[in-house]
Amino acid sequence: MKTIRLRLMMALYDGSSRLYAQLFKRHKKPWGIGKIAFLAYPPGTLGAALGDFYAHNGFDVMPKLENHDVFHVLTETGTAIQDEVAMQYLLLGNGKISLYLLAMIVIGTSLYPEYFRYFVQSFRKGRACQPFHGLEFSYLLEHPLSLLQGMLIAKTVTIHL
């Protein structure tokens, strides 16, 4: 049985993510790639890993929010509600700041205080990575996932696109 706080967070997350895409991502173009098309990418690539992510979790592609799913794949962060909050902490640690991110952190932390250590670890993980929150990953779908993960984790490597 779902708890009240989980239902509340899921309702807030589902409603706010669509609104966020409409209001704050209106100038961003969707990738135009369906979840089946991602599976056609060569094995080991970011595109194939994203296809596996969608298939494994039973998710559909949310136009204009594809990068968020890439963040899950690259950082190996789960999709449970506490993982979604942790992802916001990770992105904050990586240098991203937005009203949406801050709201998710405040609400998520107040509803799930028992995960605070996990959230702090995620923040530190984000700080330890190269800044990636602003990259457009649609251009990197054919690149090896392990290479991209290695580049993001190694702060001595500079990413030029």
Q: What are the pLDDT digits (tens) for 37-48? A: 999 999 999 999
Q: Which pLDDT score, from 0 to 100, does residue 8 have?
A: 72
In a domain, 111, yes or no: yes
Q: Which pLDDT score, from 0 to 100, does residue 1 have?
A: 47
In a domain, 66, yes or no: yes
Helix axes 4-24, 81-93, angle to 10 degrees: 50
| Domain interval for residue 127 | 29-153
CB 147 within 8 A of CB 123: no
More confident residue, 13 or 90: 90
In a domain, 4, yes or no: no
| β-sheet bridge partners, residue 144 | 45
Helix axes 46-57, 145-153, angle to 10 degrees: 100
Mean pLDDT for the chain overall: 88
Which spans in the chain are helix H? Answer: 4-24, 35-39, 46-57, 66-75, 81-93, 99-111, 116-128, 145-153
For residue range 11-47, list pLDDT tens digits in order. Answer: 766 666 665 555 555 567 889 999 999 999 999 999 9
Domain count, the chain: 1
Joined together, the tokens standing for residue 79 give 């999709």
Q: Which pLDDT score, from 0 to 100, does residue 160 have?
A: 55
In a domain, 95, yes or no: yes
In a domain, 148, yes or no: yes
In a domain, 2, yes or no: no
Mean pLDDT of all residues in 55-81: 94
In a domain, 43, yes or no: yes
In a domain, 7, yes or no: no
